[in-house]
Structure 1
């Protein structure tokens, strides 16, 4: 029986394919809501929307890969430079795309003059969102008559927490003695889980919708600290679960029985509403067990279109939603249109922005060891 470390070939695995599938799933679920076909993203018989489980999967993979990147980086500076190069160009481009192209286009599609476009608000949409925090969600006078109005790219909310967790693992490796690093990673998982347990038995913020720049909506005012700490813990638990799997990759063995037990446990917790509280590690085992398979190794590799798909899909879908207001297409056709419109933008972003930006990593002489899925 092979261990995780033995099973995961850096060049032949399905991790990138899974990430692209996750990004595509988010695109489709958002399309159904933004197109007005459902009032909220589907839950089926689960406690939370399906998108929350997909995002959890994203953070599991990120925890594994980013921990690998940090451990194998020459220094914290080298690691930080690489992470900024991977995330920041696409982040900025997604806001510039809206401000310069999609915003004016939205007015044209509504039969209005571009002369009425609020360029000062468009500029604010870019510079207020520069540092991974969504401080402005809309551009004045745009997308006000679509099913989900005045929100250009709510998908981007997770990137603040993603980058924060990258910094957590980066600093942990920097300050922790090597012999205590694995213990520190386990403590990270335990700490975030403890916060979620506290939240679940008290406020239970995850049961409320989000609006008004991501602040909790409902009868309970959680305060600013918990409004940030709860999603950090919710996502951080899965990130650190992935990090734990990396830390003990040479000891964790994969078996079919363990896979099905972990899947059944995660499934049950998703139904009763405790998935984000106690299912991080079993779910991480399931995701990485699927990732070791080489069957989909050619999908999304060596190119990585998952980030572009995730970051551009929401605003592109909002533009298509304008057209769909007056020409209501069947749901499947609207979703197909969103896929076809997003795919070339993600392709262009990777080949002409993200990949060229990553070539600058040589400015900090980093590690030579291949890390799966981590440019």
Structure 2
């Protein structure tokens, strides 16, 4: 039996969507928690790659988790524009991302920073560095901006180390918006060309410039994964959710290790695998949709909480602080959801004049 037979016999993405059962919410939370687990190593050592999974795959658990975020986001955001149109899409994306981020930046800078700074409180609150942190984080998603006198003795001094991905997320949102405005969002050919172009760009980078800066790879990696998720939605009537195809992609990725094809196969295989886990009948029979979506808050607050615990107890190993950091992060994420994110979703529903789509609304990773 050929791969094509397995592909043709597998259920389509469209049929999976029609069942109205998915694992988007629990997978997103698992990915957010994976980021926190991954950072437990780098926060204490100051070496981003000082994490076990890096040795076997070349990427940290956190990077793999962000890849999963972008695959889900590409799929759901493309569906959002397709079903809503440009106006509703713009309102939905803004209200899902901005309120939680604004409150997180203000809470970290004005509350956590004020509590943790080594400076006198009045000096801290009047510091240009405080204003620079708030402005740079909210306008350009800078994640390497430090607060005055905060975490000065930590290996990393910046308090919001995960917000850099929001820059790429917003860029991808804008890409969907523009493609939708010119009428190409539903074009299967356009989706295929976009994914193929980004994949070839990444292959070319690995082949011609294997020593290229990490930023160049990231600028191709995240849009490629996002575009793959979007393309899977655009091709939903023909695209299949096949466990055999997923295993084939895993094998191909393993066999390509050390070659210029490895990263491209790893990223596209990850995107397909995450969406298979989210939608395939084999894993959605007993799906559960939690009432609270804690993934965004977990992603935003995990790093500053881990930084704080390490600053307070610098001699304690990463594994010891991991459990309390996860517990505190989930607690604060629940507060963020209840007081900020959920009311923003209610505002979105009122702004759109109707109930929002049942499908989980993606928040930026």
In structure 2, C-alpha distance between the alignment counterparts of 1:12 and 1:62, rounded to whole Å: 17
Indicate which of 1, 9, 12 corresponds to 2:21.
12
In structure 1, C-alpha distance between the alignment counterparts of 2:324 and 2:31, rounded to whole Å: 18
Indicate which of 43, 47, 51 corresponds to 2:62.
51
2:300 corresponds to 1:311: yes
CA shift in 2, pair 1:30/1:245, >3 Å: same
Residue 191 of structure 1 aligns with which residue?
197
In structure 2, C-alpha distance between the alignment counterparts of 1:64 and 1:70, rounded to whole Å: 10
- Indicate the structure whose relative CO is greater, using CA pairs within 8 Å and at least 6 residues apart: 1
* C-alpha contact (below 8 Å) 2:101/2:300 kept by paired residues: yes
2:114 corresponds to 1:114: no
Q: Give per-residue Cα distances to partners, 1:334-370, cap 9 Å, x unaligned.
A: 0011101111110011111011111122354377683
CA shift in 2, pair 1:127/1:256, >3 Å: closer
In structure 2, C-alpha distance between the alignment counterparts of 1:273 and 1:44, rounded to whole Å: 18
**Superposed displacement of residue 10, structure 1:** 6.6
Scaled by the length of structure 1, the TM-score of the pair is: 0.84
Q: Mean Cα displacement is larger for which, 289-298 or 302-311?
A: 289-298
**Superposed displacement of residue 203, structure 1:** 3.2
Structure 2 matches for 1:244-323, cutoff 5 A? 244-269=231-256, 274-292=261-279, 293-294=283-284, 297-298=287-288, 301-323=290-312
2:128 corresponds to 1:98: no
CA shift in 2, pair 1:57/1:271, >3 Å: farther
2:94 corresponds to 1:84: yes
Local SS of the residue matching 1:370 = coil
**Superposed displacement of residue 313, structure 1:** 0.8
* C-alpha contact (below 8 Å) 2:349/2:356 kept by paired residues: no
Residue 173 of structure 1 aligns with which residue?
180
CA shift in 2, pair 1:303/1:135, >3 Å: closer
CA shift in 2, pair 1:158/1:268, >3 Å: farther
Q: Would you tell me which structure has more helix in proportion to its own residues?
A: 2
Q: CA RMSD of the aligned region, Å?
A: 2.6
**Superposed displacement of residue 46, structure 1:** 1.7
In structure 2, C-alpha distance between the alignment counterparts of 1:185 and 1:159, rounded to whole Å: 22
Residue 221 of structure 1 aligns with which residue?
none
Structure 2 matches for 1:176-255, cutoff 5 A? 176-177=183-184, 181-204=187-210, 208=213, 227=215, 230-255=217-242
Residue 166 of structure 2 aligns with which residue?
159
In structure 2, C-alpha distance between the alignment counterparts of 1:264 and 1:132, rounded to whole Å: 39
Q: Give per-residue Cα distances to partners, 1:92-142, cap 9 Å, x unaligned.
A: 1221111111112213xx6x6435425332122112222243176111222
In structure 1, C-alpha distance between the alignment counterparts of 2:326 and 2:143, rounded to whole Å: 27
Give 5+ residue unaligned stretches, structure 2. Answer: 1-9
Residue 222 of structure 1 aligns with which residue?
none
* Aligned residue pairs, count: 347
Residue 139 of structure 2 aligns with which residue?
131
2:12 corresponds to 1:22: no
CA shift in 2, pair 1:321/1:247, >3 Å: same
* C-alpha contact (below 8 Å) 1:47/1:273 kept by paired residues: no
Local SS of the residue matching 2:49 = coil
Local SS of the residue matching 1:277 = helix
2:80 corresponds to 1:69: yes
In structure 2, C-alpha distance between the alignment counterparts of 1:240 and 1:76, rounded to whole Å: 18
2:360 corresponds to 1:370: no
2:349 corresponds to 1:340: no
Give 5+ residue unaligned stretches, structure 1. Answer: 209-215, 217-226
2:339 corresponds to 1:349: no
In structure 1, C-alpha distance between the alignment counterparts of 2:112 and 2:140, rounded to whole Å: 20
Q: Mean Cα displacement is larger for which, 268-277 or 252-261?
A: 268-277
**Superposed displacement of residue 285, structure 1:** 2.0
